[in-house]
Amino acid sequence: MPLAVALLCHPLGTLTALVATIVAALYAAQSPRFLPAFTAVSAGLLTVLAFLQVSPSAAGLAWLFVGVALLHAEFFWPTFGVAGLLGLGTAAWGSCLLLGALAPVPRGVVALLAALMLLAAVARTMRLRTLPP
């Protein structure tokens, strides 16, 4: 197995590719340029390659996307931080489910870092939305 595929097949590589896909897709949705869209498609193809090698947890994917939706809801409606905290929690839980092969402590740390990365990406894309053209 080539080194690049071996890195993608590891749970950390798969989660990294998935988070990169989500972040790039969020940014590409707000930017009319070619490079963000190309990055999102490239990261998506790498994620599909990783998921073809090692099937992901369906529940982990669902919780991760629910977390991203809740993080978006925090910026669209006045939830006073409730949707943001729930979004961070569900994104971290989904990441934990996707990282099932790791030991508990590193899994929790990496899942929390992935959730914080998603929060930063959502906050950045919402900021791009409010900037004048």
HSE-CB at 37 with a 13 A cutoff on CA atoms is: 6
User: Model confidence over 77-113: pLDDT tens digits?
Assistant: 888 999 999 999 999 999 999 998 889 899 999 999 9
pLDDT for the residue 126? 85
Structural domain harbouring 92: 3-130
How far apart (Å, rounded) are the C-alpha atoms in residues 44 and 88?
A: 22
Q: What average pLDDT does the chain have?
A: 91
User: Model confidence over 37-82: pLDDT tens digits?
Assistant: 999 999 999 999 999 988 899 999 999 999 999 999 998 888 899 9
How many domains does one find in the chain? 1
pLDDT for the residue 120? 94
Could you say which DSSP state residue 65 is in? H
pLDDT for the residue 101? 82
